[in-house]
Amino acid sequence: MTASPLDGVRVLDLSQAIAGPMTGRVLADLGADVVKVEWTNGDITNRFGPVRGGITGVFLHMNAGKRGISVDRTAPGGTELLLRLAAKADVVVENFRPGVLDRWGLGYEALSAGNPSLVMVSISGFGRTSQESQRQAYAPVLHAEAGLVARQSKVDNMPMTDVAVSLADEVAAMHASIAVLAALNMRQRTGAGQHIDLSMLEALIATDDHTSEAIDGRADINDSRGYVWEVVGGPLLISADLRTTWARLSGHAALVDPTPGGAPVEIKVANRREAMRAWLAAFADRNALKAELERANLAWADVRDNSTLFENASLRDGRAVVQVDDHAGGTRGVVRMPYRFSNAESTARGTAPRRGQHNAEVLADWLGATPVEIAALSGQGALQTGD
Residue numbers annotated as active site: 169
Q: Residues 332, 324: contact at Cβ < 8 Å?
A: yes
Backbone angles phi, psi at 198, to 5 degrees: -120, 115
Return d(Cα 320, Cα 310) in angstroms, integer: 9
Of 15, 49, 19, give the one whose Cα is nearest residue 139: 19
What's the angle, vertex CA 153, arms to CA 150 and CA 159, rounded to 5?
110
309 Cβ contact partners less than 8 Å away, ≥ 6 residues apart: 315
298 Cβ neighbours under 8 A, 6+ residues apart? 238, 239, 240, 245, 248, 249
